[in-house]
Structure 1
Amino acid sequence: MIAPKDLEHCVESIRHGSRSFHAASRLLPARVRNPALALYAFCRLADDAVDLQSAKGDAVLRLHDRLDKAYAGRPKDAPADRAFAAIIEEFEMPRALPEALLEGLAWDAMERRYDDLSGLRAYSARVASAVGAMMCVLMRVRDRDALARACDLGVAMQLTNIARDVGEDAREGRLYLPLDWLAEAGIDPDAFLKAPAMTPDLGRVVRRLLREVQGLYHRSEAGIAALPLGARPGIYAARFIYAGIGQQVARQGYDSITRRARTNKAQKLGWLALSILRTGATLALPRSSVIHARPVPETAFLITATADHRQVPHWSDGLNATLEILHTREEERRAALMSSAHGLR
């Protein structure tokens, strides 16, 4: 399906760019692991294409063009693009899923802030749950309940990343913590971004965010038990490794300003072993009723698009509106640069 050289390139990019997922992927069967690594390579490429560029709006527009080409069967001549095009064809990947990811990256390009937890979950649904839904597609799973739990796991993992990276994001001028939580804690967002500093009030906000993910991680386990048996250890591993990052933040007193929580090789090996044991337990226990819990509302559109992918119309209104705003901003930026250059003459 995927050309061997393209797959090798994708594996190397994940080995160096996403060590947590690379570790968890070792427990996936090859039929899932290979396309999963290719999928993550394309998602990583998309994230870096926006994050590492100064003209972020232009970067998102270029990614949308690359997505168009991949779905047309004429991918850009690059390993990750060719591999992703192969995935689209083999698995009938609903376009709503990668488009949701691009919309989340566009929100990043706009330096969007989130008024409340619902807004933050909507962002997490796009940049993380969309990937979880795509992973289900790679496993040939389109059951609504299983998809809902995969989306729970995606939101939990993204919120964990946000809790870990508060300081790193702030130094880049980015803020993801809910604004209403900051207001309740007496923290002024603009003042915080100018001089990021660890305080007890900020620690309580980070702790609150990590408490939010605990229920999501718990609910996600019911969905893992609904996946193909061979895929369960790898997904359990991802769940335990990312939850472990949150535990490390807690051990550091919820200080993600002066320190960045890291997990070591021994910890990862322990979680990999626990994942195998937990998979064995699923064979002896009845399926949990938690599998039927209502999805997080902000992820519902992903579940619908994936479960009913043959009936759902092309999902693009939200992305197109966001791209239009980005395009306008980029045009204004270029005009301002040209005007400034003309004035210097």
Structure 2
Amino acid sequence: MLSLAPERLADTMEERATPRPAALFASPTDRAICRDMIKTGSHSFYSASLLLPEALREGAYALYGFCRLSDDAVDVDGGQSQAIARLRSRLDGIYGGRPEPEAPDRCLADVVRTYGIPQAVFDALLEGFEWDVAGRRYETLAEVEAYGERVAGSVGAMMAALMGVRTPAMVERACDLGVAMQLTNIARDVGEDARQGRLYLPRMWFDEMGIDPDSWLANPCFTPEIGVLTERLLARAEILYRKADQAIARLPATVRPAIYAARLLYAEIGKVIKSHGHDSITRRASTTAARKAWLVGAAMQKAARPAPKGVLAIEQGVERPLVAAIARTQPAVLHTRRSQTVQDDLNWVIDLFSDLERRDRTGRRG
């Protein structure tokens, strides 16, 4: 975990609305089970989660618990399609008020109602898993981004709901941030994915370079041409990062540093890949602890700037399914509480995005 010593600065604390459920499915024992899943599955995420206020902390545990079970089910050799069908059935029960007698299911049933997280967000994520299981081919950049919308844009939409951000323009940019991060992940893992028989760079780009993608997959190696394709993907990610910046600057002050940090940390991976000559076949990009600390400081500085004036432009708006799902869903009952500090929010969201990305990479290799 990237550790920052939290300072209790009263003037950084704001009144924020936190949803609370009218009735609970989960028992204290259920919540303890989900908490223990994090303690054994991700020490850094668990440590960071302790900084959360209780209500949001329990929500994070529930999301982790269900996503962990989902990844484990899909990762089992053979029967992945049946596993996904089973997960869909469990989600139907969760959203229908009939969670199965499993701790993650009951806890998630409380969280999705409390924070108004629509089932479409989870459906999109599972559809991305289905595409991986089916060995889907991605011919164009638009198709790659459609995949990113499911496995990472859905996470952006989920985060928007957790932060109480539901306007179409803001949710659009949250999804854009998720897709940008996924494109960065793909650029970083070109070699690793290829050795698993997976190709997420657009096949049309290979054709334009005179490279047969299937022949290259049989013997993946770095060439200047492959470097150009990786560079093109990172250029597209940068465009999406800059779009997301327009919304991050308009977030509440207490969450703005966290999302800026997540954005800068992921974009930094692309810069490291560039410094390697866009070779992510023979080496894997990583960022040093010192550089991460510097980027967090940069995020705090960016977050301190005044929010821009004017209205954030809408592109697709509710025509984008994940945007429509969040914008048209509301949480249960709102309860006003005092916010935690900016530093607390920052630690948690950085670790959350890191852990979700790590689970996503595991699921994609299944």
TM category (shorter chain) comes to 0.7 to 0.9
Q: Does 1:292 align with 2:313?
A: yes
1:88 and 1:154 map into 2 onto residues whose CA distance is 20
1:134 and 1:70 map into 2 onto residues whose CA distance is 16
Pick from 142, 156, 168: which aligns with 1:118? Answer: 142
Between Structure 1 and Structure 2, the one with more helix by share is 1
1:120 and 1:24 map into 2 onto residues whose CA distance is 32
Any conservation in 2 of the 1:203–1:254 contact (CA below 8 Å)? Answer: yes
Q: Does 1:55 align with 2:79?
A: yes
**TM-aligned CA distance change 1:23 to 1:237, over 3 Å:** farther
**TM-aligned CA distance change 1:242 to 1:115, over 3 Å:** same
Q: Does 1:15 align with 2:42?
A: yes
Give the aligned residue type for 1:309: T
Shift of 1:169: 0.9
Which runs of 5 or more structure 1 residues have no equivalent in the other structure? 311-345
Pick from 133, 142, 152: which aligns with 2:157? Answer: 133
Q: Percent identity?
A: 45
1:148 and 1:24 map into 2 onto residues whose CA distance is 27
User: What is residue 309 of structure 1 aligned with on the other side?
Assistant: 329
Give the aligned residue type for 1:8: R
**TM-aligned CA distance change 1:134 to 1:117, over 3 Å:** same
1:207 and 1:296 map into 2 onto residues whose CA distance is 29
Which SS does the other structure have where 1:292 is aligned? Answer: coil
**TM-aligned CA distance change 1:260 to 1:23, over 3 Å:** farther
Any conservation in 2 of the 1:73–1:85 contact (CA below 8 Å)? Answer: yes
Shift of 1:25: 7.5
Superposed, 1:65-84 pairs within 5 Å as: 65-84=89-108
User: What is residue 184 of structure 2 aligned with on the other side?
Assistant: 160
Superposed, 1:262-301 pairs within 5 Å as: 262-281=286-305, 284-287=306-309, 291-295=312-316, 300-301=320-321
Shift of 1:229: 2.2
Which SS does the other structure have where 2:255 is aligned? Answer: helix
Aligned-residue CA RMSD in angstroms?
2.8
User: What is residue 101 of structure 1 aligned with on the other side?
Assistant: 125
Give the aligned residue type for 1:292: A
**TM-aligned CA distance change 1:149 to 1:29, over 3 Å:** farther
Any conservation in 2 of the 1:166–1:175 contact (CA below 8 Å)? Answer: yes
Deviations 1:190-233 (A, max 9, x none): 11221111111111000000000111111111112333321222
Give the aligned residue type for 2:39: E
Shift of 1:79: 4.5
Superposed, 1:331-342 pairs within 5 Å as: none
Shift of 1:257: 1.1
Which SS does the other structure have where 2:138 is aligned? Answer: coil
Any conservation in 2 of the 1:94–1:305 contact (CA below 8 Å)? Answer: yes
User: What is residue 203 of structure 1 aligned with on the other side?
Assistant: 227
Query: How does the TM-score come out when normalised to structure 1?
Result: 0.78
Superposed, 1:80-91 pairs within 5 Å as: 80-91=104-115
Shift of 1:52: 4.5
Any conservation in 1 of the 2:160–2:166 contact (CA below 8 Å)? Answer: yes
Which SS does the other structure have where 2:285 is aligned? Answer: coil
Query: How does the TM-score come out when normalised to structure 2?
Result: 0.74
1:194 and 1:178 map into 2 onto residues whose CA distance is 17
**TM-aligned CA distance change 1:97 to 1:239, over 3 Å:** same
2:52 and 2:199 map into 1 onto residues whose CA distance is 34
Q: After alignment, is 232-241 or 200-209 more displaced?
A: 232-241
1:181 and 1:254 map into 2 onto residues whose CA distance is 16
1:85 and 1:259 map into 2 onto residues whose CA distance is 42
Which SS does the other structure have where 1:230 is aligned? Answer: coil
User: What is residue 258 of structure 1 aligned with on the other side?
Assistant: 282
Which SS does the other structure have where 1:229 is aligned? Answer: coil
Q: Does 1:187 align with 2:208?
A: no
Residue-pair matches, total = 303
**TM-aligned CA distance change 1:308 to 1:280, over 3 Å:** same
Which SS does the other structure have where 2:292 is aligned? Answer: helix
